[in-house]
Amino acid sequence: MRMMGRPVQDGEIKDSTEFMQDYTITELRSVRRSFKWTNNHVYNKLDKVVVNAQWIHQLPHLQTIVMDPGCYDHSPFSITLEDDRHYERRPFKFFNIIVEHPDFYDIVEQAWTVPKTRYPMRNVCERVNSVKVKLELWNTQSFTRIDKTLKVL
């Protein structure tokens, strides 16, 4: 859009469009703000961050973060190169059926014998945590997707 709300004509951006096609580059997706320039009554997307297909393939999480312009008419960009998405661990689900497995009690007993401290409550917490860690590992190794298998049964 430009002043008075008239859209930009295809012929006016033909050169930049052809350039991007010739060099197989594309605009990186942006988040937060949709316009990058303003004169307080006209808002426009003048500036772009462009990348090639190799960047998109190797760094699929990339995005342009359009920040608030503050006292300027152009909004600054930020691009994070590292994947900073946080993956949440799935909660450990205890299924009663694993108690019937012949190795269950041995695993719990091994985990329960962690070294003792002077503090009785701390001993209990550390032992319970140790059992949980061992059961999670055993669960991952031996019973992956058991919840889905049990639903089918």
Q: Give the chain's mean pLDDT.
A: 76
What are the residue boundaries of the structural domains of the chain, listed by start?
Answer: 3-79, 96-152
Tens digit of each residue's pLDDT (9 = 90 or more) over 60-88: 888 888 877 777 777 777 887 766 655 56
What pLDDT is attached to residue 111?
Answer: 87
Between residues 31 and 90, which one has the greater pLDDT?
31
Displacement of CA 108 from its chain's centroid (Å)? 34
Distances (CA, A) of 150 to 27, 95, 96, 132, 136: 47, 10, 11, 21, 18
Please state, as a whole number, how many other Cβ atoms lie within 10 Å of the Cβ of residue 75. Answer: 21
pTM of the model: 0.42
Distance from C-alpha of 93 to C-alpha of 132, rounded to nearest angstrom: 10
SS3 content of the chain, % helix, strand, coil (to 5): 45, 10, 45
Length of the chain: 153
* Closest-CA residue to 64 (of 47, 49, 74, 43): 49
What pLDDT is attached to residue 141?
Answer: 76
Instruction: Find the mean pLDDT for residues 131-137.
Output: 86
